[in-house]
Structure 1
Amino acid sequence: METLLPPSQPSENIPAAKRRHWVWIWLKRLFWMIFWLWLGSVLWVVALKWLPVPGTSLMLIRQWSIPNQQPDKRIYYQWKNLNEISPHLAVAVVAAEDQKFFQHQGFDWEAIAQAQVYNKTAKIKRGASTISQQVAKNVFLFPARSYLRKALEAYFTVLIELVWGKKRILEVYLNIVELGPQTFGVEAAAQRYFRKSALRIVPEEAAMMAAVLPNPNIFLIQQPNQWVWVRRNAIFYQMQMLDGTQYLQGF
């Protein structure tokens, strides 16, 4: 006589096993996605250690914002190697924007702490971005205000400090910095506003170019107001305190 067995019950472990299986699949996919994004970012940074930067997100934004009725819709931008740029310009932007540039590792923690204290009560907020941070933001990211963008900016800042080094960061900054309406980089600004190459810029002109950096679409090199003149004179004094172009010799 055959013994009839009771019908088997579905195992309660099967749904849990399936869930673990899909979780594992998605974790692997997430890992590989992050890995390829990381590898792509590293290769991008390595490539731009040697190649001229073709453009920045801010250049695109400025291009898109040019009114249709405006006849001149060009973005003025011309890449120059560091040895084709007056060293006075390098000293001027360091004096104006980041005097600890050659000492810090991408972040000026003292300036960040001071800005945080100042911004708690001030109506007009003060930034503490270093030249390295500005390059990371402008070359690799779109301007935005979010914690994600800040995190990515910090990541690219560390990466370019490790891969590029200070001279390359400074070279890129001098080439991509906005210095006037539709004008990016010291070569384009020198040609437009001083009718000469960036290599021939003298200290006084370099200080004037650096003086408009807080907002080069309001403060104009070709039409400096009193505030720009005061800032230009302060930067020129700081350049002398840094010992002029001799300051660059040790780096």
Structure 2
Amino acid sequence: MADAAAPEDRPELGVAMAVRRSSRTLWRRLVMVAIGLAALPVVLTILYTVVPPISLPMLGRYLTGQAVDRRWTPIENIAPVARFSVMASEDGQFCRHWGVDFGAIADVLERGGEKGPSRGASTIAMQTVKNLYLWPLPTFARKPLEVPLAVWTDLVWSKKRVLEVYLNVAEWGDGIYGIEAAAQHYFKKPASRLNAREAAQLAVVLPNPIRRSAGSPTRRLRNLAGLIVNRARNSSGYFDCVR
């Protein structure tokens, strides 16, 4: 019986084996990249417990040479009424959930059907991880990642830290990031001196800071700000975790 031909005697077999080896190498590299990308937010969240983070939108502007106005300020230097107004507007159950308000998600899914959860189901922790790690992704790919990252962030950080980071990375206008920069830009005062009306006007522009202006609010935004003033005043007992 004739010996089996060696790979070098059958060129097509050698090519097939080389392709398989290349495919396995490529897949191993892709898996390693995927593991690294998945681990990066986990590691950065730990680092950001003490280091002021930079959001992906800010980084994108820096890399493209666009202006960025961000002035990191500790939460102790942000007026309590500003903290309460943002929570009242964006996440009324902030002190009561673990980063994700599953009840709100269920309500939005029930009302929205196949459209999926909207910003109405996004907590402050979810919006924070979106800005820090997930900003370029489309909604359908981003939302499933926001939930575990928000729970992880809420576990690693204190509630004060979650709110502090959010207030310092949120966008309040074209190139305006953080509540200190916003307070100085719109009201010519530090965030520590914001009053209830000014804080509410800042809070209601967060869903669309490019089309809405805290300094020149429309009648509709002024009405919304009035509601937030009352809500923040009457709900301050729910926000004891950030006093």
**TM-score surpassing 0.5?**
yes
**Which deviates the most, 199-208 or 33-42?**
33-42
**Where do 5+ consecutive residues of structure 1 fail to align?**
1-5, 67-72
Q: Paired residue for 1:59?
A: 58
Give the counterpart letter for 1:166 in structure 2: K
Q: TM-score scaled to structure 2, two decimals?
A: 0.80
Q: Does 1:248 align with 2:240?
A: yes
Give the counterpart letter for 2:58 in structure 1: M
Match of 2:90 among 97, 102, 115: 97
Q: What secondary structure is seen at the aligned counterpart in 2 of 1:127?
A: helix
Distance 1:60 1:34, change over 3 A: closer
> Using the alignment, how far apart are the partners of 2:166 and 2:73 within structure 1?
11
How many residues matched? 230
**Where do 5+ consecutive residues of structure 2 fail to align?**
6-12
> Using the alignment, how far apart are the partners of 1:243 and 1:41 within structure 2?
32
Question: Displacement, 1:49?
Answer: 1.1
Q: Paired residue for 2:106?
A: 113
Q: TM-score scaled to structure 1, two decimals?
A: 0.77
> Using the alignment, how far apart are the partners of 1:65 and 1:33 within structure 2?
25
Distance 1:121 1:227, change over 3 A: farther
Q: Paired residue for 1:192?
A: 185
> Using the alignment, how far apart are the partners of 1:42 and 1:130 within structure 2?
19
Q: Paired residue for 1:7?
A: 2
User: Residue 201 of structure 2 contacts residue 225 of structure 2 at CA under 8 Å; is this kept in 1?
Assistant: yes
Question: Displacement, 1:29?
Answer: 5.6
Question: Displacement, 1:237?
Answer: 0.8
Question: Displacement, 1:33?
Answer: 4.5
> Using the alignment, how far apart are the partners of 1:27 and 1:9 within structure 2?
30
> Using the alignment, how far apart are the partners of 1:219 and 1:212 within structure 2?
5
User: Residue 95 of structure 2 contacts residue 239 of structure 2 at CA under 8 Å; is this kept in 1?
Assistant: no
> Using the alignment, how far apart are the partners of 1:177 and 1:43 within structure 2?
21
Q: Paired residue for 1:47?
A: 47
> Higher helix fraction: Structure 1 or Structure 2?
2
Q: Paired residue for 2:145?
A: 152
> Using the alignment, how far apart are the partners of 1:160 and 1:194 within structure 2?
32
Q: Please list the CA deviations of residues 106-142 of structure 1 after superposition, one character each: whole Å capped at 9, or x if unmatched.
A: 21112112212322499xx663111000000001122
Q: Paired residue for 2:155?
A: 162
Give the counterpart letter for 2:81 in structure 1: H
Q: Paired residue for 2:212?
A: 219
Q: Percent identity?
A: 33
Question: Displacement, 1:249?
Answer: 5.5
> Using the alignment, how far apart are the partners of 1:250 and 1:59 within structure 2?
26
Give the counterpart letter for 1:88 in structure 2: V
User: Residue 90 of structure 2 contacts residue 123 of structure 2 at CA under 8 Å; is this kept in 1?
Assistant: yes
Q: What secondary structure is seen at the aligned counterpart in 1 of 2:172?
A: strand
Q: Please list the CA deviations of residues 172-214 of structure 1 after superposition, one character each: whole Å capped at 9, or x if unmatched.
A: 0111111123211110011111111111112222112112122
User: RMSD over aligned Cα, in angstroms?
Assistant: 3.2
> Using the alignment, how far apart are the partners of 2:99 and 2:89 within structure 1?
16
Q: Paired residue for 1:69?
A: none
Question: Displacement, 1:250?
Answer: 7.4
Residues 126-137 of structure 1 mapped to structure 2, 5 A cutoff: 127-137=120-130
> Using the alignment, how far apart are the partners of 1:217 and 1:31 within structure 2?
38
> Using the alignment, how far apart are the partners of 1:61 and 1:179 within structure 2?
16
User: Residue 179 of structure 1 contacts residue 216 of structure 1 at CA under 8 Å; is this kept in 2?
Assistant: yes
> Using the alignment, how far apart are the partners of 1:103 and 1:190 within structure 2?
28
Q: Paired residue for 1:3?
A: none
Q: Does 1:142 align with 2:141?
A: no
Q: Greater CA radius of gyration, 1 or 2? A: 1
**Which deviates the most, 29-38 or 223-232?**
29-38
Q: Does 1:206 align with 2:199?
A: yes
Q: What secondary structure is seen at the aligned counterpart in 1 of 2:108?
A: helix
Give the counterpart letter for 1:40 in structure 2: L
Q: What secondary structure is seen at the aligned counterpart in 2 of 1:113?
A: helix
